Structure formats: structure tokens, C-alpha cells
Chains A and B, each alone.
Chain A
């Protein structure tokens, strides 16, 4: 069965303390891995798409990497405004041509000054 697991569930950092969030997946026929940021009471905001092992994407203090079994979201020198829930999703091939997103439960990140 296709599955996405994110760890840790919650992470508390001091401002400037770099860390990584993990997204491990088991899926048949990966068609892309997506990272989203979600603020409380809001919809998820798209950050990155990764398609193949070894691929990396960067945006400000965030860097996403992908292997054949997992993805990491590295946060360098975080600021309080990086506090949010970070969601990982994978797109698997489904017979019939429709590509479905399977989401993890997310990592709640709190960055304190």
C-alpha cells in the first residue's frame, strides 16, 4: 500500500538552529514528491517538486533533497517566521492516467527567538 511518513511530528528550534525534516515513502511508480508549508487556519502553500533521486531544490532558507526512499527538507538558520506545518506528498501512478497525491501527516515546526 502507498504510504508517506513524516518525522518528527513536532520540532522546536531556536532561531538560527539548523535542522532537517524527514519524509519517507513507499509508493509504486513515483511521479513526483511535493513539499508544502501550511500556516494555522490556511491552505497548504506549494514549496517544491522533486522528481528523481539526487535532485535538490532551494528557496531562501529551505533546501529539499530526494533519494529513492525519502526526502529531506533542510532548514538553515531558521527564523520565527518559518514556524508552520510542513507537509510532504507523493504522486503515484494510478491506472487510468490520473495521478493522485498521498500526503503525510506533517511536521509542526516552531522557531523561537
Chain B
């Protein structure tokens, strides 16, 4: 069966520091991969998606970037964090087409 892993589960970072969040999927090949941010009381906001290695599309211009160095690995990065980058970050995968997306357990990011 397929599983998705995200780490770390929680992270506290100072303003201006770099960021790297990692997501890996097991049990499937060539998945579509997604990064979302969830703010309290609001819907999930799609940040990036990828349909293959090295292929990244951005939905919202911001202080973040994403990379997909391997088929089942998706990384969310920032060179300098802002206070507004705080939130709950979720990674998801899908086999494509109209199949549902499946989510990891997220990373709670707090910026001080």
C-alpha cells in the first residue's frame, strides 16, 4: 500500500532563516505531488504541484520554492523565512487524472 511521510512534524524557526521541508511517497511510481498551506479557519491553499521529476508549477507567488529531485521526493524551501510563512504545511500525492489526493500528517511551522 502507498504511504506518505513528511518531516519534521513541528519546526520553530527565526525570521530570516532558511527552510527545508521534505516529503516522500512509498508504494507508487510517478505520482503527482502537491504542497499546501493551511491557515487556521481557512481552506487549504495550493502552493506548488509537480507531475514529474524536475517539473514544478507554482500557484501562488511568494517567498517559497519547491523541488522534485527524485520521483517520489518533494521538497519545500525558502532562503529567508518571513513571519507570514507560519502555518501548517501539507504534502499530498495522487496517481493523476480524477483520483483523490492523499495527504501526509503535515509540518507545523512557527516563525519567531
Q: CB within 8 Å of B: which residues of A?
A: 4, 9, 31-32, 34, 36, 41-46, 49, 51, 87, 89, 91, 98-106
Contact = CB atoms under 8 A, between A and B. Distances in A.
A52 B42 CA distance: 26
B98 A103 contact: no
- Name the residue among B6, B42, B49, B103 with the largest chain A CB count within 10 angstroms: B103
Nearest to B36: A103
B46 interface: yes
Nearest to A9: B41
Interface stretch (B13-21, B63-71, B75-83, B104-112): B104-112
A32 B97 CA distance: 11
Contact of A104 (B43, B92, B97, B98): B43
Given A42-B106, A43-B105, A43-B106, A105 B42 contact: yes
Contact of B101 (A51, A101, A102, A106): A101
A106 B43 CA distance: 7
B interface, size bucket: 20 to 34
Contacts of B102: 46
Interface of B: 6, 41-44, 46, 49, 51, 57, 59, 90, 92, 97-98, 100-106, 108
Nearest to A45: B103
Contacts of A43: 6, 90, 92, 103-106
Contact of A103 (B43, B49, B105, B106): B43
